[in-house]
Amino acid sequence: MRNYLEQCRYKRRPVQLNAEVGAEVKKGNTAKKYLVPVKVINLSIQGCCIITHTVLINGKHLFLEDIGSKEIEIRIYLPKDPINIPAKVIWFDYAEEYKGFKVGLSFGSIEDTNRNFLKRYLSSRDSAIKKVL
């Protein structure tokens, strides 16, 4: 399983973000959801890496019990409009450099309008990074 995840990681083309993008993670049933502010530091059409300083809400671990499930929804605040994407937790680890936790999310099915908006954003960021190099 680990080799499969590593292969998938190399296939995707993430954009390393110069400035962190704001986001919120929602967890729980549809009647009562918890919002957790996070920062997106790496983003692709398949998923993202987020930084958070909060891993417990009401005594429940946000990510440990959700590895492989689809109980997470992330709202990413891109320019113009935020987009909501269902996601599942693939991995998480403590990140000393951020004094918080890095969490890897794999996106579920994305609505066409959100997918197109995300693709345009990623291609514009990728072009801007190539110009700098």
For the chain, percent of residues with pLDDT exceeding 90: 0
Does residue 109 surpass a pLDDT of 80?
A: yes
- DSSP code of residue 99: T
Where does 2-132 sit in CATH, by number? 2.40.10.220
List own/partner pairs for 7-11 with CB under 8 A and 24 or more apart. Answer: 8/46
Q: Could you tell me the pLDDT band of residue 84, with boundaries at 50, 70 and 90? A: confident
**Model's pTM, two decimal places?**
0.72
Looking at residue 132, its pLDDT comes to 36
CA angle 22, 115, 80 (to 5 degrees): 45
* Beta-ladder partners of 74: 25, 85
Looking at residue 66, its pLDDT comes to 55
pLDDT in tens, 30-67: 455 657 788 888 888 899 998 888 777 667 776 666 56
